[in-house]
Structure 1
Amino acid sequence: MEVPGMQSSQIDPEELFTKQDRIGKGSFGEVFKGIDNRSLSVVAIKIIDLEEAEDEIEDIQQEITVLSQCDSPYITKYYGSYLKGSKLWIIMEYLGGGSALDLLRAGPFDESQIATMLKEILKGLDYLHSEKKIHRDIKAANVLLSEHGQVKLADFGVAGQLTDTQIKRETFVGTPFWMAPEVIQQSAYDFKADIWSLGITAIELAKGEPPNSEMHPMRVLFLIPKSPPPTLTGDFSKSFKEFTEACLNKDPAFRPTAKELLKHKFIVKHCKKTSYLSELIDRYRRWREQGHSDSSDNDSDGESSDKRDGDSPEWSFTTVRKRKTDERPHINGQLRREGQTAGSPSSSLGTVIAPVFSELKQQHKEHSEKRLAIEELEHNIRLTEDACPGITDRMVTHIVARFNAN
């Protein structure tokens, strides 16, 4: 496995770092708070069993590659990787304030807190976009805070790289509720897709959940391209509503850039110092001390890429399993680049089909005959995909087109 910043396999990470409490568990492994024994600084340690995560190795490589290329105070820092047996240790910056999604559990944010957080997210996006990178999964769960209120973007497992010759992407990735229409439709898109996701995130920070959260995610995939853009309703300022409206223009050409949004009236008028956000962290801790908890508590706290409901086997599209990007293995072992349509493996197999079957199997776990039938159907779809790579994407695209035409 090729990993940027990988240290010699002869170096034992357990001698360099001391694991402490487990602070997260996601689809890729466990995350621990730790100590760098050389500097005595606090770090986050993600430990992945590569034998168990064989299908996710490309996602892991992608995330590490993107993080290793980033140098910004608004992006979580990557310190290096170590391989011990089949276990990959990824050492990351520790962010003890938790995610914005964690903090929302204790109650909604006020507009100054939202503006302050959005400004820092915009700084991170402005940096990424200047480096020709697209995050592609902006949402509250992927915004982390330090204990002092610093805000940083996290989770780069589905991040994309634009080049001078390829200025658009066509891959179907992200999380449906936050996904831009052009991404769902698998048409060419660029960094403006992140701006749409930011608009959805702004509503999430205001309301506690994204628009259409009461709907089934498959329905949302059909709904977003067909319907008018979501709007921020309720007792919010005019400038805040205008900010979300600007982000949620269905025509990407008319969405502002991150740099332009940093000058938006809502940000300029309501933004405060990031230390103001420490009030949210204190509030969340008090909320926890009062005995509040939920099923996601074990998956919280500050590490860059763990999902909110990583323990859950059923389909939870707020924490969609990351799919492979950039380079994907063909069934004969050869690598194919993203953008090759002929013979390229389907992305929707992982983002749409597999979660649907996971949900169906969970629903019918007490009915062995139905479960076996579901497993057989899933197996046959995978066999068909192996024989004809890309057919699942074409099927899903056709279904979406038929639905939108009605």
Structure 2
Amino acid sequence: MAVNRMREDPEDVFTKQEEIGKGSFGKVYKGINKKTTDVVAIKIIDLEEAEDEIEDIQQEITILSQCDSPYVTKYHGSFLKGSNLWIIMEYLGGGSALDLLKAGSFDELAIATILREILKGLEYLHMEKKIHRDIKAANILLSDHGDVKLADFGVAGQLTNTMVKRNTFVGTPFWMAPEVIKQSAYDAKADVWSLGITAIELAKGEPPNADLHPMRVLFLIPKNNPPQLDSQYSKNFREFVGTCLHHDPSYRPSARDLLKHKFIRMAKKTSYLIEYIDRYKKYREVHRDDDENGDSSGDEIDESSHRNPIDTWKFVTERGTPNGILSDSPTIPTSKKLPTILIPALEELRLKYGADVIDNVQDILLDADKNAPEIIDKLLVQLIHKIKSVST
């Protein structure tokens, strides 16, 4: 049972051990429950530093506390110590699917097995009218025994009986569905698109267009044909990816229907994944010295290459009001908000003035952002202030 014990000192209950990762809003540590000796994961967030993300942290805790599924990481409770919020989660020692890819590629049986478990998680979430909105290999965690679970609900959304679609621009660019980028009304089928992109990521080690600037990818996804796997992969795998990646979400199957797909039905028991977990643990031991020296941590984001699952490009812009969409945030440079402000407008203008004209405008903006992002920052700040002054 998840509990909130804000007044109790978490250090009386848990022994904090080594850092094991970084979540959306803070660092994650391995911990031990002093009374039960159970191993847990402890996410610690400095609320003073994360002041602008408090609503999103509350959203993550709310979503997790409502979930009860073997395919979703379990939430055990929260504690407040000074300005630090301790979020106690299930410990999954096998690493993320992205971690496992560092040690080498997966075969198709492993990919099918991972995807089957994630589809079970999505089936549960979608039945509960929840959308994850950030499906990718980095957010798929494994236990030492091969159990596969969905993690990181920092941008998850809740549908209701009266609001069956969302129109929020959230997620990580390379995995975002076209309708999310365009801020059209969308539903759980957006997760199905992201799952298709994740399937490609699991096969190739990175999502499509990983060599491109994230903002250019956001312009390209709605207008380009959906990515595909080439002939080196099996017909069933190619068909699975193709059925997930329809521009029109009405043509995408539900998570429940995808569980019946031929590719998913070839999946093995999750114990099949243990060899990949063991391979990664050996890889990590070999590279531990490099990690500690900062030579190849894999956690640093190289803005010149844009090849990581880029957390600084994870967008959360909404709250249902223009001020929410246009408000300045110290965590995301203004130039990185360019897509959230301009893409929907450009999509509307594309219909009126034609693709060629709008494509030229996009190219000019992208070149300007690449060569002089500070100018784009200043331009957008001025636009925002002018819009606010006109609206008031």
TM-score using structure 2 length: 0.82
Instruction: Please state if 1:274 is matched with 2:270.
Output: yes
Q: Contact between 2:72 and 2:150, CA under 8 Å: does it hold in 1?
A: yes
SS at match of 1:291: helix
Q: Which has the higher helix share?
A: 2
Q: Is the 8 A contact 2:71 2:150 kept in 1?
A: yes
- Report the Cα distance in structure 1 between the residues aligned to 2:286 and 2:84, rounded to whole angstroms: 37
Q: Could you tell me how far apart the structure 2 residues matched to 1:296 and 1:272 are?
A: 36
> What is the aligned partner in structure 1 of residue 384 from structure 2?
385
SS in 2 for 1:224: helix
SS in 2 for 1:33: strand
Question: Match of 2:169, SS?
Answer: coil
The answer for the alignment partner of 1:283 in structure 2 is 279
Give the counterpart of 1:77 among 65, 68, 74. 74
Give the whole-Å Cα distance in 2 for the aligned partners of 1:231 and 1:219: 19
The answer to whether the 8 A contact 2:317-2:325 is kept is no
Identity percentage over the alignment?
A: 63
Q: Aligned-pair distance for 1:353?
A: 3.5
Partner of 2:86: 89
Q: Give 1:285 shift.
A: 1.4
- Compute the displacement of 1:319 (Å): 2.5
**Conservation of the 8 A alpha-carbon contact between 1:62 and 1:325:** no
Q: How does 1:48-127 map to 2 (within 5 A)?
A: 48-127=45-124
TM-score of the two chains, using structure 1 as the length reference: 0.79
**Pairing 1:6–2:40 present:** no
Amino acid at match of 2:283: W
More displaced stretch, 345-354 vs 16-25 = 345-354
- Decide whether the 8 Å contact of 2:133 with 2:190 is kept in 1: yes
TM-fit CA distance, 1:15? 0.4
Decide whether the 8 Å contact of 2:118 with 2:149 is kept in 1: yes
Structure 1 residues 295 and 224: CA distance shift in structure 2, 3 A: farther
Q: Which amino acid aligns with 2:310?
A: T
2-structure distance, mates of 1:250, 1:374: 31
SS of structure 1 residue aligned to 2:162: coil
The residue identity in structure 2 corresponding to 1:285 is: K
The aligned residue for residue 311 of structure 2 is 320
Distance 1:244 1:27, change over 3 A: closer
Tell me the alpha carbon deviations over residues 58-102 of structure 1, each in whole angstroms, 9 at most, x when there is no partner.
Answer: 111111111011000000000000001111111000000000000
Q: CA RMSD in A?
A: 3.0
Instruction: Report the alpha carbon displacement of residue 216 of structure 1 after superposing the two structures with TM.
Output: 1.3
What's the offset of the Cα at 1:291?
Answer: 3.4
Q: How many angstroms apart in 2 are the aligned matches of 1:63 and 1:26?
A: 11
The reply on whether 1:179 has 2:170 as its aligned counterpart is no
Give the structure 1 partner of residue 368 of structure 2: none
Listed as ranges, the matches of 1:185-264 within 5 Å are 185-264=182-261
* Cα distance, 1:347 vs structure 2: 8.0
CA contact under 8 A between 1:344 and 1:390: conserved in structure 2?
A: no
Q: What do the CA deviations read for 1:141-179 (whole angstroms, capped 9, x no partner)?
A: 000000000000001111111111111111111111111
Displacement of 1:282 in angstroms is 0.6
Output the amino acid matched with 2:274.
S
CA shift in 2, pair 1:117/1:294, >3 Å: farther
Query: What do the CA deviations read for 1:332-372 (whole angstroms, capped 9, x no partner)?
Result: xxxxxx3x4x5443389777845479xxxxxxxxxxxxxxx
Alignment of 1:358-369 (within 5 A): none
Equivalent pair of 1:158/1:325 in contact (CA under 8 Å): no
With over 3 angstroms needed to count, the CA separation of the structure-2 counterparts of 1:348 and 1:239, relative to structure 1, is farther
How far apart, in 1, do the equivalents of 2:76 and 2:207 lie?
A: 33
Instruction: Give 4+ residue runs of structure 1 displaced > 6 Å after superposition.
Output: 292-298, 347-352
Cα deviation per residue 1:253-281 (whole Å; 9 max; x = unaligned)? 0000000000001111x211001111110
AA partner of residue 287 (structure 1): Y
Cα distance, 1:388 vs structure 2: 4.0
Structure 1 gap ranges (5+): 302-307, 329-337, 358-372, 392-406
Larger deviation: 286-295 or 241-250? Answer: 286-295
Give, in whole Å, the separation in 2 of the partners of 1:351 and 1:254.
Answer: 34
How many residues are matched? 351
Q: Where does the alignment leave 5 or more consecutive residues of structure 2 unmatched?
A: 339-371
Structure 1 residue 128 corresponds to structure 2 residue 129: no
Offset, 1:288: 2.4
Task: Say which is worse superposed, 164-173 or 287-296, in terms of deviation.
Answer: 287-296
Judged with a 3 Å threshold, the aligned counterparts in structure 2 of structure 1 residues 313 and 237 are, in CA distance, closer, same or farther, namely closer
Distance 1:222 1:85, change over 3 A: same
Aligned to 2:357: none
CA distance 1:159–1:27, change in 2 (3 Å): closer
Deviation at 1:5, TM superposition (A): 3.9
Alignment partner of 1:166 is 2:163: yes
- The AA in structure 1 aligned to 2:99 is D
- Residue 36 of structure 1: how far off its partner (Å): 0.7
Describe the shift of the 1:225–1:378 C-alpha distance in structure 2 as closer, same or farther (beyond 3 A).
Answer: same
What letter corresponds to residue 253 of structure 1 in structure 2? S
CA contact (8 A) 1:59 1:323 kept: no
User: How far, CA to CA, are the matches of 2:389 and 2:113 in structure 1?
Assistant: 43
1:131 to 1:52, Cα distance in 2 relative to 1, 3 A: same
Q: What amino acid does structure 1 have at the position aligned with 2:269? A: K
